[in-house]
Amino acid sequence: MTHTLLFIALAVAQNTTHQPTPPPTFAGHGNNVQSFINAHDLDKDGVLTRQEFENFRRQRFDASDFDHNGHIDLLEYVREFDERIDARLKPELEAIHSMTERRFQSLAANQTHINRARYDESGNRAFIAYSEGKLPETLPADAPRSLLDLPTNHTKGGMLALYDRNSDGKLSREEYDLAREEQFKRTDANDDGKLSRHEYEAEFNQRVQARIHDLKTRELRQTGVRFGVLDTDKNDEIGWDEYLASGMRLFQRTDRNQDGKVDSVDVALPAPARNSGG
């Protein structure tokens, strides 16, 4: 258990009793029935039965019960969730590493470093694409979902997120050049006017780690709130019955035609209206 997890767990422990159920954010399915099926369909036949879902919940419960005492305390619940985040981040971080390597090679142009001229040429191309309206607002809807959602200069939204320092929703050339200058100086750790592979990767990795910290802080706080909702008898532990009951309420909401299974029929049906009484 890391110090970060311990701090978050203790911080939320005092504030879980009367919190409303938060909307799912990490690996949440909301009204996406197909996503719900994909996440829990153990035999991958496209049909999720009540028993199959209960088996899935049992596996998740046992994975969270690290001391095998039949109950999940707050630290165990947060720890299991943190490990799931790490597992989902692993392939994304590997892809980011490969992308960073390719970008360095492209900018270095077969040299051992990126010189200032190459850096400025790349920045100029990106700004021209932005200023001439050639960039899409965001990535396509069918683009792979990213947990970190790092901003990219391949979209208008990404350019603004990276360089719009005064947050006015537009990017002037002066503002952009200043931000690029600061970025170069920040990356050029030895101040020699060029960027080595190590410097380039280190600066980008700092941004990635900051994003991971923000993600985990946000999501783990929500996890603490969910712990309080699951702990219905407020004894600071989640028993199997409490854990299963919460899951089955979710299953019943997703089983839109109430036939005891979640399948393509439920995917096609509209989401039920929420009643104000909760």
DSSP assignment letter at 270: P
Helices (H), 188-239: 197-230
Q: Are 9 and 74 in contact (CB under 8 A)?
A: yes
Q: For residue 10, is pLDDT > 50?
A: no
E strands, the chain, where? 48-49, 71-73, 113-115, 194-196, 237-239, 261-262
Taking alpha carbons only, the member of 53, 14, 48 closest to residue 34 is 48
Residue 146: the pLDDT is 85
Q: For residue 20, is pLDDT > 70?
A: no
Q: State pTM to two decimals.
A: 0.73
Q: Are 224 and 13 in contact (CB under 8 A)?
A: yes
Residue 3: the pLDDT is 46
CA distances from 155 to 58, 101, 137, 166 (A): 42, 21, 6, 19
* CA separation for the pair 243, 21 (Å, rounded): 14
Mean pLDDT of 29-35: 74
Residue 114: the pLDDT is 97
Torsion of CA 28, 32, 34, 39, to 10 degrees: 10
Beta strands 48-49 and 261-262: pairing type?
Answer: antiparallel
Residue 275: the pLDDT is 55
Q: Provide the token pair at 17.
A: 């009793």
Sign of CA dihedral 41, 45, 51, 52: negative
DSSP assignment letter at 17: S
Condensed to tens digits (0 to 9), the pLDDT of residues 81-102 reads 999 999 999 999 999 999 999 9
* CA separation for the pair 154, 137 (Å, rounded): 9
Residue 26: the pLDDT is 34
Reduced to 3 states, what is the DSSP secondary structure of residue 169?
A: coil
Condensed to tens digits (0 to 9), the pLDDT of residues 131-156 reads 999 999 998 877 777 889 899 999 99
Q: Provide the token pair at 149.
A: 């959602």
pLDDT band at 14 (very low <50, low <70, confident <90, very high): very low
Taking alpha carbons only, the member of 189, 198, 197, 186 closest to residue 162 is 186
Residue 274: the pLDDT is 62
Q: What is the mean pLDDT of the chain?
A: 87
Residue 31: the pLDDT is 60
Residue 18: the pLDDT is 38
Taking alpha carbons only, the member of 124, 96, 121, 97 closest to residue 107 is 121
